[in-house]
Structure 1
Amino acid sequence: MASSPPPLAWPAVHKRFAAVLGANRILKRREDLLAYDCDGLTLHRHAPNLVVLPRSAAEVVTAVKLCVESGLPFVARGSGTGLSGGAISSDGAVVIVTSRMRRILDVDVDNQTILVEPGVINNWVTRAVAGDGFYYAPDPSSQNVCSIGGNVAENSGGVHCLKYGVTSNHVLELEVVLPDGSLTRFGGHVAEMPGLDLRGLFIGSEGTLGIATAIRLRLLRQPETVRVLLADFAAMEAAGDGVRRIIAAGILPAGMEIMDNFTLNATEDLLRTGVYNRRAAAALLVELDGQAAEVEAACQATEDLLTAAGAEGVRKADSPAACERLWEGRKAAFAAMGRISPSYYVQDGVVPRSALPKVLQAIAGISRRYGLPIANVFHAGDGNLHPLILYDHHEPGIVQRVEQAGADILHLCVEMGGSITGEHGIGADKRCAMALMFSTMDLDTMTRVRQAVDPQQRANPNKLFPTPTGCAEASRRSVRVPVEVY
């Protein structure tokens, strides 16, 4: 594995990169580097020794080759909105930031594709093609700031993943700089390509197989009609039953999201929308889209099903502005927590829909056990939980307690037949938890694939896969507390 040069060697490294790429393409001052010491997960911080800011694929190639020649690992970084510590420098890695690569290279309306650079912001894609009647389906809550390159690295999802899938369902082709600095392409203009699916292998690899420098995305026709329903429930179990009834009836919404009372009050305090019932134990948002007649029928059926499940009130929105107003609070849920707590730690586990009531009860027990407030907001349709653990980072010893609470939630998800991540990725944060889901042989197989592409493991070291030393240290620092599932 690549190793960092000794501290005295960094000035020489800075000089070499500046000489080849230009001084305006690197950051080396401490005050500049601090802006890159974490991603959206602020639980752990580590400032890099060097940041590179390429503007083209050729400059990414040059930066990676310089890393190889200097014996340095590297970390790819987009907008830095990730929530798993995947874009943090480690082992003296050079951070290669693609946020200046923001060109839309080609729009092919006839074939419903668009070719973009990795720094293009998620919602810019839809804005670029909306006038032609198209949109890009994956929509993380951070879609106003997160980049397509990061979405590809993490295989991001969003509200609409229930019906339309995650990023991997919408990427046709990738231009990639491999860890040795060579440039290649995975996939093609059409969905089905012969040979091994290297495109699929790269998506979700979290920067461990290289850096994407151009991405061809699939576009969808804008639906003829969109309706959004907001239902209030006196109990979280009733909201979960509403989700179950909708799916059992054969209705496939574009998205279904639940916020608990803690979360909906926090968002209402922030936005003052007036649309959320502050007394409700849970708010369930359901979006339906498609042909007008189909949506109207599904909307009426869904309202009836929600009422049968115990909804105390159901509001409907049928104009774009009204739909956006109902969704506004859900999109701002994470930001709203910033007004309540100095820090928060978000988890990203997945459980079967049928297990949601038991899991939420168990999370409430974890909250009580550790004395930490936990807000719940999640993709109810596919069981992707986003519990937000609130804490004050100034409190002595708090980080270990927060990490242990988060670990208990991950154990809980796996015990219920789920996963340790749905869309935020593994990164540095959850790599030690990979052993909860995969056997030693499974992990060895994945590592062999990585080594075939990157024998020296220069690309994003110490991410995604557990390392014996690091994970042994983590296990010694904390003792697992059994999770009670009621």
Structure 2
Amino acid sequence: MEMPRPDQAVLDRREKIAAAMRSILPASSVVTELQELQAFESDGLTAYRQPPLMAVLPETTQQVSAILKYCHDEGIKVVPRGSGTSLSGGALPLEDGILLAMGKFNRILDIDYEDRCVVVQPGVSNLGITRAVEGNNFYYAPDPSSQIICSIGGNVAENSGGVHCLKYGLTTNNLLGLEVVLIDGTVLRLGGRHLDSGGYDIMGLLTGSEGLLAVVTEVTVRILPKPETARAVLMGFPSSEQAGECVGSIIGAGIVPGGLEMMDRPAIHAAEDFVHAGYPLDVEALLIVELDGPAGEVDLLIEEVSRLAGENGATSIRASNSEEERQTFWAGRKSAFPAVGRLAPDYYCMDGTIPRKKLPEVLRRMKELSQHYGLDVANVFHAGDGNLHPLILFDASKEGDLHKAEEFGADILRLCVEMGGVLTGEHGVGVEKRDLMPEMFSKTDLEHQQRLKCAFDTQGLLNPGKVFPQLHRCAELGRMHIHKGQMPFPDIPRF
């Protein structure tokens, strides 16, 4: 019997899997045509593209469970995807795997003002939660710049932050409950509307796990009442180093602003041209400091941070005098990423975190790296918690520019680790930082992390190729003793 050619074998396998998916989902929710798959071939890290074997769009937990059970039984790889705004390649598909697109999970299931929580499906946008409760003067605190589109399920996967995470925390600090589906189809509920739960903190483990351990199908988040007063202050400085010193002075004085953001000259000018927020254009660095709480307290805090800014060399200080003006100040910051896109044909957005006191030194070293690589960089970042977002400007049409940008970015991340920081603050590791993990973690560290992966996914089917530079077989990580050629627990799958 003549064996089918490899390409025909692939086609036959795809059709077999597609038939199985159509037995679980409506035919319109199973995408196999190459032209239609192009919509899923990348995420926010657009330098890399790869169409998946197919994309499936479930809309119930039962469908997700059935899909994952089939993939588990058949050894098929699965990449979960929310809105596709990941900036680390976390949702990049695989040519031999299914892309599990969760966009149809887009309903708000319950709003509970008494317990101050909202139950949503993972495809609901971050901003959609605030929009649903703001009429009753509540809001959802974590607010990434992409909040208008990024999904809450993706926020859980990456443990996303935002400009207000300094005071109000990241996703993990505002998460009360999860429903997730494991790779074998098991549906698991964790936490709930209560403030604490007994047992191991599995929900904490899953938050920020980048789709490697489970697929989120329901999320319960904490909502907060809007503060009585919120005002923002723009503070301009002659140098980024002085702005960095001011950040340390504010936090060192015991003041925890609602937000504390920094932009350098290229980012300031790009944002001002884009939004017309009223930013000063004669400064090298700009701090946006938001103070919230009772009106009297906010007024006193504005006086104090203004004094600290003056001591650190600020040349301009301007406080918002209306809610509209405060929102305008923030509109410039939240539009900085698309605004910087006007400065060069392409830019590479990095994400690393350092101790706040290292800000001046890191900014100086980044200038040196910029000169070394011959590429400009615009800085926009969460200065209050040391979460950097350097935007490396380049032109992908120029031979070698993309490679230089990637090397520049890798050196910035190495610098973060050298300064006592970490490789990522909120964008995740994905594929972008995967090969830099040994810069931060020892071989033993990585093996222990992979043991957790094995506890949830023994075959390595969920989002493979992400986070770990080399994924070991689960049996290898177990350090199992082989006696007379026999391995104990022979039913444990190897991959």
Q: Structure 1-normalised TM-score?
A: 0.93
Identify which of 226, 233, 254 aligns with 1:229.
233
Offset from partner CA, 1:430-477 (integer Å, 9 cap, x none): 1111111111111111101110110001110011112179xxxxxxxx
Identify which of 3, 17, 22 aligns with 1:18.
22
What residue number does 2:339 align with?
A: 336
Residue 34 (1) aligns with residue 38 (2): yes
Of all paired residues, the percent bearing the same amino acid is 46
Residue 212 (1) aligns with residue 236 (2): no
For the 8 Å contact 1:260–1:376, the answer to whether it is kept is yes
Residue 355 (1) aligns with residue 358 (2): yes
Residue 426 (1) aligns with residue 416 (2): no
CA distance in 2, matches of 1:146, 1:223: 25
Identify which of 376, 390, 402 aligns with 2:393.
390
What residue number does 2:482 align with?
A: none
Offset from partner CA, 1:164-193 (integer Å, 9 cap, x none): 110000111100011111111122321221
Q: RMSD in angstroms over aligned alpha carbons? A: 1.5
Identify which of 141, 146, 150 aligns with 1:146.
150
CA displacement at 1:306 relative to structure 2: 1.1
What residue number does 2:57 align with?
A: 53
What residue number does 1:252 align with?
A: 256
What residue number does 1:476 align with?
A: none
CA distance in 2, matches of 1:378, 1:402: 19
Offset from partner CA, 1:331-364 (integer Å, 9 cap, x none): 0011012222222111111111111111111111
Residue 65 (1) aligns with residue 73 (2): no
Offset from partner CA, 1:249-298 (integer Å, 9 cap, x none): 1111011001000111111222233x112221001100001122211111
CA distance in 2, matches of 1:390, 1:12: 45
For the 8 Å contact 1:172–1:191, the answer to whether it is kept is yes
Offset from partner CA, 1:183-206 (integer Å, 9 cap, x none): 111223212211100000100000
For the 8 Å contact 2:239–2:285, the answer to whether it is kept is yes
What residue number does 1:449 align with?
A: 452
For the 8 Å contact 1:73–1:91, the answer to whether it is kept is no
Residue type matched to 2:386 in 1? G
Distance change >3 Å, CA 18–CA 342, structure 1 → 2: farther
CA displacement at 1:13 relative to structure 2: 2.1
Residue type matched to 1:437 in 2? M
Identify which of 281, 287, 301 aligns with 1:284.
287
CA distance in 1, matches of 2:397, 2:69: 41
What residue number does 2:307 align with?
A: 304
Distance change >3 Å, CA 468–CA 136, structure 1 → 2: closer
Q: After the TM superposition, which residues 94-243 of structure 1 pair with which residues of structure 2 at under 5 Å, given as runs?
A: 94-243=98-247
What residue number does 1:326 align with?
A: 329
Offset from partner CA, 1:106-153 (integer Å, 9 cap, x none): 111001011000000001111111122211100001001101000000
Residue type matched to 1:96 in 2? L
What residue number does 2:439 align with?
A: 436
Please give the secondary structure, in 2, of the residue aligned with 1:375: strand
Offset from partner CA, 1:383-416 (integer Å, 9 cap, x none): 1100011112222233222211111111101111
Residue type matched to 1:204 in 2? G
CA distance in 2, matches of 1:236, 1:400: 27
Residue type matched to 1:23 in 2? A
CA distance in 1, matches of 2:300, 2:272: 31
For the 8 Å contact 2:160–2:170, the answer to whether it is kept is yes
What residue number does 1:415 align with?
A: 418
CA displacement at 1:7 relative to structure 2: 4.6
Please give the secondary structure, in 1, of the residue aligned with 2:119: strand
Offset from partner CA, 1:298-331 (integer Å, 9 cap, x none): 1111111112211111111132211011111110
Please give the secondary structure, in 2, of the residue aligned with 1:459: coil
CA distance in 2, matches of 1:382, 1:81: 22
CA distance in 1, matches of 2:215, 2:272: 40
CA distance in 2, matches of 1:295, 1:272: 26
Identify which of 74, 82, 91 aligns with 1:87.
91
CA displacement at 1:29 relative to structure 2: 1.3
Instruction: Decide which moves more: 372-381 or 150-159.
Output: 372-381
Instruction: Decide which moves more: 185-194 or 460-469.
Output: 460-469
Please give the secondary structure, in 2, of the residue aligned with 1:364: helix
For the 8 Å contact 2:349–2:392, the answer to whether it is kept is yes
Q: Give 5+ residue unaligned stretches, structure 1.
A: 470-486
For the 8 Å contact 1:13–1:70, the answer to whether it is kept is no
How many residue pairs align between the two structures?
A: 465
CA displacement at 1:63 relative to structure 2: 2.0
Identify which of 388, 399, 404 aligns with 1:401.
404
For the 8 Å contact 2:52–2:99, the answer to whether it is kept is yes
Residue type matched to 1:202 in 2? L
For the 8 Å contact 2:143–2:161, the answer to whether it is kept is yes
Instruction: Decide which moves more: 234-243 or 322-331.
Output: 234-243
Q: Give 5+ residue unaligned stretches, structure 2.
A: 1-6, 473-495
For the 8 Å contact 2:52–2:95, the answer to whether it is kept is no
Q: Structure 2-normalised TM-score?
A: 0.91
CA displacement at 1:49 relative to structure 2: 1.7
Offset from partner CA, 1:201-240 (integer Å, 9 cap, x none): 1000000011110000011111000010001111111111
Please give the secondary structure, in 2, of the residue aligned with 1:232: strand
